[in-house]
Structure 1
């Protein structure tokens, strides 16, 4: 898999802006719905090693698994692959004078973070899904 963005299907979960604001905290809303970024090394899952599934905090869709999480020492949780290839949408992001690939939840199109490749991490995909902790909810393995 490459980080080439592909066409976006319509979101399965939709809410009005007011409904999203009522459902999410202001900090969650800023990241998930306005493509913000939490400060590095401040997120609750940056160094977590708990086994489980990481869901979208906005809609509950499964996005990542702890078995694909690794320590990249970049300040945000890092994964080398989503749980399923269609769990996320990749979108070209040319904000802040850079060209990056944004990662969105495929179910509700909430902002998760960005994906980078070719950085030399010893992972099966050579990719780093750099994801905001506040975009996720960890469901520990039973």
Structure 2
């Protein structure tokens, strides 16, 4: 059985958000509605930011989702795609669909003109990392560090 996708639209927000929440709970990602929900709405409304792919299978209508975001890097040769999130619902697992989902995301990125696709994986998720490595991703042996740039209500940085 094959996996396929359709581009999510703003009307898909509630359905997609339910899967996002399930993914965050399962992968031990802190869910902050004040960050996640506006970010997801922007992604759905503004194609220049990227895309959300809703995954479907022949017998699994809600197989999961992928979020993809546009980035730019001189080192990476220009515009590239961040595979931000990949989630397969429990009913969609164990079918080889993880590899198919990666191929769908890759094909979307190629058609859209990306030079590279990158992703991040949590240290505790060895199974996902093994899938990514077997699909041709390489471990650049770098750590991702984050500096929050949140602006306070007064417009000043904390």
Normalising by structure 2, what TM-score?
A: 0.23
Q: Which has the higher strand share?
A: 1
Q: Which has the higher helix share?
A: 2
Normalising by structure 1, what TM-score?
A: 0.25
Does 1 or 2 have the higher relative contact order (CA < 8 Å, sep 6+)?
1
